[in-house]
Amino acid sequence: MGADREGGARRRPMRAVALAACGIVLLAGCATMPDGGDLRDVESTPRQDTEVRVFAMPPAEDASPAEIVQGFLEALTSDDPTYATARQYLTGAASRQWRPESSTTVLASGPDIQVDRTTGHDDTDEYAFTLTGNKVARVDDQQSYTPLDGRYGQSVHLVRDRKSRQWRIDALPQGVVMGQSDFQRNYMSVNKYYFASNVPTGATATAAGPATAVAEPVYVRRRVDAMTRMVRSLLSGPTRWLRPVVRSSFPTGTALRRGVVALTPDDQNRLTVPLNEKASRAGRRQCTEMATQLLFTLQSLTPTVDTVELQRADGSTLCSLDEERAVAVAARGSVKRPEYLYFVDDKHRLVRIPGSGTAAAVEPVPGALGEGVQRVRAAAVSWDEHTAAAVGIDRKSLYVGSLVTGGPLDAPVLQSAGKTENDRLTAPSWDARGDLWVADRDPARPRLLVLEQGTGRPIEARVPGLDGRVNAVRVAADGVRIALVVQRKDGNRSLLVGRIEREEKAGEQPVVSVLELRPAAPELEDVSAMSWAGDSRLVVAGREHDGVQTMRYAQVDGSTPEGPAPAALTGVQSIAASDDERLPLVAYSEDGIVRLPTGAQWQKVVKEGSAPVYPG
């Protein structure tokens, strides 16, 4: 529970003391509230600089019930690591039972407080309030973010101590609730890393190639020893949503050594991590994978760590790993930087330009797809850039061809029976296994399909809970997550992210499922284009309710990442982004194909062209 620092319409001045030399802000715990039933905003100080530590004031002597509730809510938005000041507003029994770390509920603005009229009379020693608001999201006990909507309503009960005659809270909801701007000030999203368990090259770091790292975003409090908390979160394992498709190299039960309170890198940017006895039996290869998970996770948090050293319970070194060695152990995103950007030219051929630099020398791809043997509408290029899949001009047929000079084009690997172009095949997408994904939008039989290695009999993926038909498909570079644009019956299109699971039996086609779809851009009701744009991030073009088209970044958990959105662009029909953030964002809009280099504005690539894609 907490206060929204940007407040509502009825603001009041906060009694706050800023100690500039120490970087501390003290939140006052006193507020006024009429005893009527009107709703009041929980208001507090304006947003402070993110480097300023904020600490709450304890309850004032003879504070009223309203001041106790107000002060308690404000105390929850401070940087008190154990909520010690907030607990001073509770009775002893309530403090022992309250678990603030169990969840954080995010409201559109600070909780409104309503007096319960059945309590609070002069002749009673109890008082009750109801906290209300509009829900935005919830962070659970695994630090996982989930978008929410609907109304929030929870009661808070107070009693007056018989001896001291001071009011204290004796019943309250578990967890914390705060307004959205307070949440953004207090929390930040950080990726922790595991290894894909259903990608062949992800089994272990061998000569066959590096393991495939999978980023999972979680939320931690910014100024409450985020580094140590991220290490603990990584050691505790992946969240329930991701767990079925990833593995951790840390032995079960691995934790920080008893007595370790905080972790801090030294002046050589080396972080030493003392582990308990459970980790001591790890072999050399396993330890390097453990260190890689830690290094990737910590570099998502801060650039000040470039070497990780793991210690056994007795203090001896288990292993040490730096950035250079980590990239040989595991790959984040695609294994190599894309050589080219691909798109369809005005002759409906698949063509390409260099992926980096500003040159725009367009050349047809080697092979039949670049020679115009078959006119195409959209395409996808495999991660190794050796093979391409393309949808024919009428979207009825899917072709697969090698990107080698003179390479032939065989018969279609898939055909749709849809009566119109919009009821046929979507643009395809390759996964990290080398399998090809595409959706058939035929209303009579809408399907999400997988072709192993781009050939053979298509496998229909199971998508339980899917409400509508798939309009667009993009598989993440890690191969275990998939983004789908789903068109509902009302015509609106939503962006959903699912988990890819496979059940394989010798001699049989695998059973492929996309499970637990969750919204990635819940504020957009009509998504027109999307692409993966990082380890756990997508770029999305869509329209808010009663709004115009906008472009923004979205986390896979449905939260909005920090940082600026892409520059505005009108009429976006498709987007291409690379996991390599050095490569520009590319889009197909009413101006043709344009790209957005870092720190620049949109630049025209070609006027006549469509469907740009990077490998994947």
Give me the sign of the Cα torsion angle 214, 218, 224, 228.
negative
Q: pLDDT at residue 570 above 70? A: yes
How far is CA 314 from its chain centroid?
37
* Structure tokens, 139: 């962070």
Contact (Cβ atoms closer than 8 angstroms) between residue 504 and residue 521: no
* In contact, 60 and 31? CB cutoff 8 Å: no
φ/ψ of residue 327, rounded to 5 = -70, -15
Q: What share of the chain is helix, strand, coil (3-state, %, to 5)?
A: 15, 40, 50
Sequential DSSP letters for 479-504: SSEEEEEEE-TTS-EEEEEEEEEEE-
Distance between CA 489 and CA 497 in Å, rounded? 19
Q: Is 290 exposed, middle or buried (CB count within 10 Å of its CB: 0-12, 13-18, 19+)?
A: buried
pLDDT digits (tens, 9 = 90+) for 169-205: 999 999 999 999 999 999 999 999 999 996 553 333 3
Beta strands in 427-487 (DSSP E): 429-430, 436-440, 447-451, 459-460, 469-475, 481-487
pLDDT at 123: 61
- More confident site: 41 or 561: 561
What is the structure's pLDDT at 358?
65
Q: How far apart are the first and last CA of the chain?
A: 43
Distance CA 549, CA 461 (A): 31
Q: Tell which phi-psi region holds residue 578, choosing left (phi > 0), alpha (psi between -120 and 50) or beta.
A: beta
Task: Quote the pLDDT of residue 491.
Answer: 87
Please name the amino acid found at residue 30: C
CA 481 to chain centre: 12
593 near 600, Cβ under 8 Å?
Answer: no
Arithmetic mean of pLDDT, 362-391: 95
Q: How far apart are CA 259 and CA 277, in angstroms?
A: 13
Distance of CA 243 to the CA centre of its chain: 15
Average pLDDT, whole number, for the chain?
88
pLDDT 10s digits, 321-353:
999 999 999 988 766 789 999 999 999 999 999
- The kind and range of the H/E element at 73 are helix 65-75
> So what's the pLDDT on residue 507?
80
Convert the pLDDT of each residue in 429-470 to its tens digit: 999 889 999 999 999 999 999 999 999 999 999 999 999 999
Q: Hey, what amino acid is at 351?
A: V
Delimiting residues of CATH 2.120.10.30 domain(s) in the chain: 418-613
The CATH code that applies to domain 418-613 is 2.120.10.30
CA distance 468 to 480: 22
Tokens of 158: 């107070």
Query: Is 99 a residue whose pLDDT tops 60?
Result: yes
Q: What is the pLDDT of residue 10?
A: 31
The confidence score (pLDDT) of residue 529 equals 96
- Whose tokens are 């204290």? That residue is 168
Return the H-helix or E-strand segment holding 542.
Answer: strand 537-543
Distance CA 362, CA 351 (A): 7
Distance CA 548, CA 575 (A): 17
Q: Are 16 and 27 in contact (CB under 8 A)?
A: yes
Amino acid occupying residue 293: Q
Residue 259 is which amino acid?
A: G
Q: Which residue has the tokens 């309850």?
A: 59
How far is 592 from 614, CA to CA, in rounded Å?
17
List, for residues 492-515, the tens digit of each pLDDT value: 999 999 999 999 888 888 999 999
Q: How large is the average pLDDT for residues 384-412?
A: 95
Buried b vs exposed e over 322-349: b needs ≥16 C-beta within 10 Å?
eeeebbebbbbbbeeebebbbbbbeebb
Query: CA–CA separation, 139 vs 151, rounded Å?
Result: 17
Cα–Cα dist 484/579, whole Å: 18
CB 604 within 8 A of CB 594: yes
Question: Is the Cα torsion angle 70, 73, 74, 75 positive or negative in sign?
Answer: positive
Beta strands in 31-166 (DSSP E): 40-41, 53-56, 104-107, 112-115, 126-139, 145-147, 151-160
Residue 299 CB contacts under 8 Å (≥ 6 apart), including other chains: 305, 306, 323
Q: What is the pLDDT of residue 207?
A: 41
Confidence band of 41 (pLDDT split at 50, 70, 90)? very low
